Amino acid sequence: MGSDLDDSSESGTEMSNESTEPKNKEQPEQGAHSEIVASHYNKLEDRGLFARKKSNIFHLRNFNNWIKSVVIEEYSNLIKQRIPLGSPFRVLDMCCGKGGDLMKWISAKATHLICTDIAQVSLEHCESRYNSTNNPEKERRKVEFFAADATLQQLRTKYKDPSMRLHLVSCQFAFHYSFESYKQADCMFKNAAECLDEGFYFIGTIPDANEIMKRQRLAMADSFGNDIYNITFQCDPNNPPLFGAKYNFQLDEVVNCPEFLVHFPTFEKLALKHGLRLREKKRFDEIFDKYKVPRKFLLERMQALETYPQSSGRGMQHNDGPRKDATQYRHAEEYERQLSANQFFRVGTLSQKEWEAATLYLFFAFEKMKTTYDAVGKPIYS
Ligand SMILES: C[S@@+](CC[C@H](N)C(=O)[O-])C[C@H]1O[C@@H](n2cnc3c(N)ncnc32)[C@H](O)[C@@H]1O
């Protein structure tokens, strides 16, 4: 078994040719961590805007939100080019949390929105957040909120109309929880794929296992990170299994939870089993490079980057927050030197440690293939 999770390798538990199900059936107990994850997210307080602004990861959160905004906008536009004007645009936000993407769905003019998450408290928050929004389409938009474990339960049976066809399924910062076991990941893909209409999309964001492995090797330790994030392996990093490759992820005071590495070739193979063909895979730094100019206005409006230096001087902090460490902005100063900029130099940037945390992630998009059925009712995708 290979020692890394490089995309090119078929490392990890041996896989059969026919399916992605590992031949090694020694699987962890199904969903053993789901409760831990649900209880962690249920306990997360919704800190007010003031507290969020003072947070060490204020810009990182905004940056992640900007990434989601641009990809949701891009895929919603693609969909709207293909469906007749005025026809329904149906979205499933799988693992929606407290509804961080609600406004994005409203802006995208989704006409039917299903929000689901394992964490009941988060979901209630999401629903009341939606109810408190005021938007012109609200009266006409259909919305559904329900709690479910997307790695163990069939979501379709919980929809008001289980025969519904979706145009977009989104799973942001969550699919990796299903990589606890083959069965859970398979169930999560089934949920993502089964109601998706032919030619439409499943999009999401997950930690980039290659990047995590690269950093682990560089650190030559089971635990590594910086002041705002930490990863501690809870499996052998030299021999991670395809499923159940557990590590603990800590992000400032926001996340402290067991997560699982997503071996991308396995992820892609499992997706194909459900009729999902990979359309796009991009690390967050690549998304940033692609959209930083065309979506600059949104970058600024969402305060996804901080201005360096602040008017009050180098290394000073935004918005009443604590003073920042100037060593975190060497890249900005280097950029200034390259530009031979004058004294009015200002740049939008993230601190080194926030950038390191942001670039742990990647974006993916799949397209649902054409589905026909053989004589025994088995789906054939083409
Ligand atoms: C990092 S949060 C992301 C929330 C939201 N998608 C966003 O981007 O703001 C991960 C979410 O996944 C949810 N989650 C984790 N495991 C899940 C499961 N098995 N079924 C459904 N939701 C799950 C958690 O409760 C949490 O709300």
Which residues are near ligand 1 (CB < 6 Å)?
Answer: 34, 37-38, 41, 95-97, 100-101, 117-119, 122, 149-151, 172-174, 177
What percentage of the chain carries pLDDT values higher than 70?
81
Helix 120-132 / helix 34-43 crossing angle, nearest 10 deg: 40
The CA 170 to ligand 1 mean position distance, Å, reads 11
The CA 294 to ligand 1 mean position distance, Å, reads 29
Could you tell me the pLDDT band of residue 324, with boundaries at 50, 70 and 90?
Answer: low
Q: Which of 71-75, 86-90, 311-315 has the lowest mean pLDDT?
A: 311-315
* pLDDT at position 20: 60
* pLDDT at position 17: 38
The CA 175 to ligand 1 mean position distance, Å, reads 8
Whether residue 48 has pLDDT greater than 70: no
Could you tell me the pLDDT band of residue 51, with boundaries at 50, 70 and 90?
Answer: low
Whether residue 227 has pLDDT greater than 70: yes
Closest CA to 167 of 138, 139, 132, 203: 203
Mean pLDDT, range 100-125, rounded to an integer: 97
Which atom of ligand 1 is found nearest the CA of 38? 25
* pLDDT at position 2: 34
Q: Is the dihedral of CA 136, 140, 142, 145 positive or negative?
A: positive
Whether residue 214 has pLDDT greater than 50: yes
What 3 state SS string does the chain have? CCCCCCCCCCCCCCECCCCCCECCCCCCCCCCCHHHHHHHHHHCCCCCHHHHHHCCCHHHHHHHHHHHHHHHHHHHHHHHHHCCCCCCCEEEEECCCCCCCHHHHHHCCCCEEEEEECCHHHHHHHHHHHHHCCCCCCCCCEEEEEECCCCCCCHHHHCCCCCCCEEEEEEECCHHHHHHCHHHHHHHHHHHHCCEEEEEEEEEEEECHHHHHHHHHHHCCCEEECCCEEEEECCCCCCCCCCCCEEEEEECCCEEEEEECCCHHHHHHHHHHCCEEEEEEEEHHHHHHHHCCCCHHHHHHCCCCEEECECCECCCCCCCCCCCCHHHHHHHHHHHHHHCCCCCCCEEECCHHHHHHHCCEEEEEEEECCEEECCCCCEEEC
In angstroms, the CA 175 to CA 267 distance is 10
- Closest residue by Cα to atom 27, ligand 1, is 97
In angstroms, the CA 123 to CA 117 distance is 6
- Closest residue by Cα to atom 26, ligand 1, is 97
Mean pLDDT, range 73-97, rounded to an integer: 96
Residue 96 is assigned to a ligand binding site: no
Residue 290 is assigned to a ligand binding site: no
Which residue of 63, 176, 177, 203 sits with most ligand 1 atoms within 8 Å of its CB, as the best mutation to test the pocket?
177
* pLDDT at position 264: 98
Mean pLDDT, range 191-197, rounded to an integer: 97
Which residue of 117, 181, 203 sits with most ligand 1 atoms within 8 Å of its CB, as the best mutation to test the pocket?
117
In angstroms, the CA 3 to CA 82 distance is 44
Most confident of 51-65, 283-297, 347-361: 283-297
Residue 64 is assigned to a ligand binding site: yes
Q: Which domains does the chain have, with CATH numbers?
A: 33-207+257-292+363-381 (3.40.50.150), 306-313+321-349 (no CATH)
For residue 88, cis peptide bond before it (omega within 30 degrees of 0)? no
Mean pLDDT, range 331-343, rounded to an integer: 67
Q: Which of 125-129, 174-178, 274-278, 337-341 has the lowest mean pLDDT?
A: 337-341
Mean pLDDT for the chain overall: 86
Residue 117 is assigned to a ligand binding site: yes
